[in-house]
Structure 1
């Protein structure tokens, strides 16, 4: 009887541990290190790391992710994007050490847990109050209509000029008038924008799995449609515009590739397929459960002036990608120095597959609203050749855009504003939903801006740092 009771008690304790491990935890992280940080999830069995997200040095912002009790994470200090070094000096607490620092933390509490990355790159589980910010003390009860404020300040300045006051003194008073009276309204607007953005991102994380597992979901509606005629093959194609922002565009183009072009790519890739890899957040690549597929790089052939070779199906398809990219962005992109076309293949093994072929949410290039780095990716074309029976959608979770592909269609998305060179702020983050039944075969072209024959894509590591600056 005693043994039975002990067994029941042990079983109860074990079930509590299992239940806790399966309970979703809302993790909040604040980066006070002063450095850009790469957050990696550590696989509990294989110890492989999967890149989760980048975190800018912003002490006032909490980065939010969802995880489970006992999950472990690695934090890696990202090197400077220009020098390729982590730098460091006595002022920032690193004593001049050039080594990129790492740290680990583990989720131990159910429901919610908070962490802070300190200046010495340690992780504390109890977040102290954020440093005082003068902006937080602005009295929002004194909100005024900005239009009224500007009119009042302008009239006040005009009257003082009419009475012979010094122009520079009047302009200084005008500046003070507008700055002090508009500050509460600007802070209010900024607070609302950040609040709405955080809600949208949190909601999109929760909606990702629902979108990817619903076989009946249809492609998101168009903002508008356009007709595009290739100057090379003279074929007019319909482009469905799903998102149209200066730094973030998503287009679905009908009949972008022919069956013969898809077959030519598949045949060329057949003998060189290998396991797909991802950036490891440290300048190299790694095999990751976050991207499970087979891939092969195919280098198209072009003439010396960058034109597709006549009769070469792969060359013609690649040239069409650059033609459409220039049609949308007008950046004069050429094939010289670009990455090769990538044949990528996913295979379905049923809904019970615990590790299905898929590509978890990620950005192909920078998508944190910063200036584009010369030589980095700025647009992507994904061409669908074989459509799975179930699964395999493309989901842009932060933009609320999902695409149920059709054979021969393509998704073009860009993450740069060609007029300012500013990059997307997360709207083009996307995933390749799990493939459950059948096969998904796509062709992907990542398009870079700032590469050439002299400085090709291979001159950069996966952090977009020139290898010559990275010690390679």
Structure 2
């Protein structure tokens, strides 16, 4: 393991050159770790050279009580008698395509419950508050955890599938997209270099995985794209895409692709490293 007390000139120049080459601070940290530096050393050097708050970089270190998800295992994962088929897998990013996560009846019931409560879709701002975002052009709503027996059943199914307690999940969000609407490429993890990181993670830590469930099959378009992997998941009623990520994981960039014909309904569940305080 490499050690230093003050950033050496040659290391300083390497960090600067790497950042100028388009690498984000967390990417530079990752490259230093791969070169043999420990986490704290990497964080101190990147903080000193690039001017990133050390506390923000240290926030990416594992914390007490943090949990990870278990990736669904092919070919079939059975949860309380419900069989979910894993029809495709990627290693980077960690993606699993899940067939039959929801039944047709569950999809229809979610749409019916959500429809009267739809409003302009929101994202989470740097202070943990919900806000509109021009990149997301859908309508949506949130269910409370365990709000109805249907929501409870779906939450328990997901918890068993990924081996993470229900308490680690945010409330289920249902979104409705019309032709031309989309969610442009983005990350689901919270950026620790942003000033609101502490506020947005205070209630449950970092996001560690997402599950996007397709409640209908659009006539054309509307899939979920992973640009770094050149991979697109087709939106098919009852199926879902699960993907997990670490803080700063650039490969997890993804997009809700535009609906070309018809409409798209999805339900999204975000999972946190610690129990989510509502």
TM-score range relative to shorter protein:
0.5 to 0.7
Q: What corresponds to 1:426 in structure 2?
A: 250
Q: Aligned partners of 1:63 and 1:270: how far apart in 2?
A: 46
In the alignment, is the contact (CA less than 8 A) between 1:382 and 1:410 conserved in 2? yes
In the alignment, is the contact (CA less than 8 A) between 1:292 and 1:357 conserved in 2? yes
Gaps of 5+ in 1: 1-57, 66-91, 93-117, 120-223, 303-308, 327-332, 349-355, 417-422, 459-472
> Pairwise mapping of residues 392-403 of structure 1 onto structure 2 (< 5 A)?
392-403=222-233
Gaps of 5+ in 2: 1-14, 24-47, 52-72, 193-200
Q: What corresponds to 2:86 in structure 1?
A: 239
Q: What corresponds to 2:11 in structure 1?
A: none
Across the aligned residues of Structure 1 and Structure 2, the Cα RMSD in angstroms comes to: 2.9
> Pairwise mapping of residues 325-404 of structure 1 onto structure 2 (< 5 A)?
325-326=162-163, 333-336=164-167, 338-348=169-179, 356-366=180-190, 375-404=205-234
In the alignment, is the contact (CA less than 8 A) between 2:208 and 2:273 conserved in 1? yes
TM-score normalised to structure 2 length: 0.67
Q: Aligned partners of 1:437 and 1:367: how far apart in 2?
A: 34
Aligned to 1:226, which of 75, 85, 108?
Answer: 75
Render the CA deviation track for 1:239-260: whole Å, top value 9, x for unaligned. 0342125xx4100011110111
Render the CA deviation track for 1:23-78: whole Å, top value 9, x for unaligned. xxxxxxxxxxxxxxxxxxxxxxxxxxxxxxxxxxx63223659xxxxxxxxxxxxx
Q: CA deviation at 1:283?
A: 4.6
**Number of residues paired by the alignment?**
208
Q: Aligned partners of 1:402 and 1:322: how far apart in 2?
A: 25
In the alignment, is the contact (CA less than 8 A) between 2:145 and 2:151 conserved in 1? yes
CA shift in 2, pair 1:442/1:269, >3 Å: same
Q: Aligned partners of 1:281 and 1:59: how far apart in 2?
A: 27
Aligned to 1:408, which of 238, 241, 264?
Answer: 238
Q: CA deviation at 1:301?
A: 2.1
Q: CA deviation at 1:237?
A: 2.4
Q: What corresponds to 1:324 in structure 2?
A: 161
Tell me: higher relative CO, structure 1 or 2? Use CA pairs within 8 A at least 6 residues apart.
Answer: 2
- The alignment status of 1:290 with 2:135, answered yes or no, reads yes
TM-score normalised to structure 1 length: 0.40
Q: Aligned partners of 2:22 and 2:181: how far apart in 1?
A: 26
In the alignment, is the contact (CA less than 8 A) between 1:388 and 1:440 conserved in 2? yes
Q: Aligned partners of 1:387 and 1:334: how far apart in 2?
A: 30
- The alignment status of 1:62 with 2:24, answered yes or no, reads no
Q: CA deviation at 1:424?
A: 5.4
Aligned to 1:442, which of 266, 269, 272?
Answer: 266
Larger radius of gyration, structure 1 or 2?
1
Q: What corresponds to 2:144 in structure 1?
A: 299
Task: Tell me which stretches of 4 or more aligned residues in structure 1 moved more than 6 Å.
Answer: none
Q: Aligned partners of 1:63 and 1:315: how far apart in 2?
A: 47
Render the CA deviation track for 1:419-466: whole Å, top value 9, x for unaligned. xxxx352111100011121010011111111125xxx0x4xxxxxxxx
Q: CA deviation at 1:413?
A: 0.6
Q: What corresponds to 1:190 in structure 2?
A: none
Render the CA deviation track for 1:113-166: whole Å, top value 9, x for unaligned. xxxxx97xxxxxxxxxxxxxxxxxxxxxxxxxxxxxxxxxxxxxxxxxxxxxxx
**Which range moved further: 432-441 or 259-268?**
259-268
- Secondary structure class of the residue paired with 1:322: helix
- Secondary structure class of the residue paired with 2:267: strand
